[in-house]
Chains A and B, each alone.
Chain A
């Protein structure tokens, strides 16, 4: 495959910018959650820095919507086709079986969360050089359903627990931070990002951690045979 392949329009590398590897994630995606560790391991093994970026999924726009009743088990309201339900159920089951291998808990969600404030908190943490610490403290409790990520006070507490000064976060989140988040999301979506985790490397863009072998192959200089897709570990 040529490096100038028309498959990959220039807008992908323009979106990547100066980063060697840019990765889009969303707190409310179980697939993003289980991709964090292998992505970090892969990057660490190659000495590559990751430019993490928030991408807030607009799930109802493509997967319909649903809300659980107060009992947390039955569906109170839904605008989903049978095919969409089947896809959603499989996605959770699939994420769960991989998560369980590393001791992670993924509970079914109660609603489609608005994770934009959490995305803004990611940007705040990134500004403070503590993106990893923040998501390490936010992902596990969120997926145990112990975290209301729409509550700014909860996010302030997570930031503080991650040794990040949260003073001014709330004001920033309602102004400059929100604008930055929206700009990042719109630029990504306009370029073709539609899910998480999405990876930008050289001129290529990929969705899903199964492409990590190819991303590593590209970062290593495309030596040898190009690998296929696989969900695999990158432990040293």
Chain B
């Protein structure tokens, strides 16, 4: 059974999911198809105003809770997450990601770990081909081939993957696609493990 995992590098929840998902792969041996996806960025908690209605206050409470979750669980994993509300283009990273997925799949997790860590340390622009190619080169990959792919078929491949994920109904990250099921969030990893292991043992609830 193959597990597809769709991550948006710009979302802290995707970074928080990366390590635990790699751990699941190591422990279960499941084949993971890592895919790039673009989702809605996080909302910054709004500044309170006297005329805020209940809906505005609700959204602020939620945004503040998410901010706390990111800070607390990043700390627990020893991850550095700077400026969690960043948005912006990611084309170069996606193109390199998809090249590695096909031509050097054994290196993809290492590449992703380094890319996510550097992005969240404000040390990688995922839209800069030079920065992304240098990162790939540091993983022992063919920089010239990635440049050529990005200039040629890379964008089409990214668009095709984006269309396929949209067709599958993916709208959040991290998204886990297993059979006909889509799960959003690393909290589902016990359920995914249970399904991968043939529903053996007690259900995760």
Contacts and interface: CB of A to CB of B under 8 A. Distances in A.
Interface string B55-85: 1011101101101110111011100000000
Interface string B40-63: 100000000000011101110110
Nearest to B77: A228
Contact of B204 (A7, A37, A62, A232): A232
B140 interface: no
Interface stretch (B87-95, B112-120, B186-194): B186-194
Interface string A180-212: 000000000100111100000000011110100
A101 B65 contact: no
B167 interface: no
A102 B202 CA distance: 10
A229 interface: yes
Contacts of B191: 97-98, 231
Interface residues of B, number: 39
B61 A193 contact: yes
Contacts of A192: 61, 64-65
A90 B169 CA distance: 10
Q: Is the interface of B mostly helix, strand, loop or mixed?
A: helix
A189 B72 CA distance: 22
A228 B186 contact: yes
B73 A228 contact: yes
Given A61-B55, A86-B171, A229 B205 contact: no
A189 B205 contact: no
Contacts, number: 98
Of B20, B68, B205, most buried by chain A (CB within 10 Å of CB) is B205
Interface string A86-100: 100010001001100
B184 interface: yes
A57 B182 CA distance: 26
B203 A90 contact: no
B181 interface: yes
B105 interface: no
A58 B54 contact: yes
B73 to A, nearest CB: 6
Contacts of A78: none
A194 B72 contact: no
A37 B205 contact: yes
Chain A interface: which size bin? 35 or more
Nearest to A89: B169
Nearest to B53: A61
B202 A7 contact: no
A37 B203 CA distance: 13
Contact of A228 (B20, B68, B181, B184): B20
Contacts of B40: 83
A62 B182 CA distance: 24
Contacts of A206: 65, 69
A235 B76 CA distance: 25
B205 A231 contact: yes
A227 B40 CA distance: 27
A86 B169 CA distance: 9
A226 B185 contact: no
Interface in B161-205: 169, 171, 181-191, 202-205
Contacts of A98: 191, 205
Given A7-B68, A62-B58, 18 more contacts: A1-B72, A7-B72, A62-B55, A86-B169, A86-B171, A90-B171, A90-B182, A189-B61, A194-B61, A205-B65, A207-B62, A226-B75, A228-B16, A229-B73, A229-B186, A230-B187, A233-B204, A235-B202
7 contacts: A1-B76, A83-B171, A194-B58, A226-B75, A231-B188, A231-B191, A233-B203
Interface of A: 1, 5, 7-8, 34, 37-38, 58, 61-62, 83, 86, 90, 94, 97-98, 101-102, 189, 192-195, 205-208, 210, 214, 225-233, 235
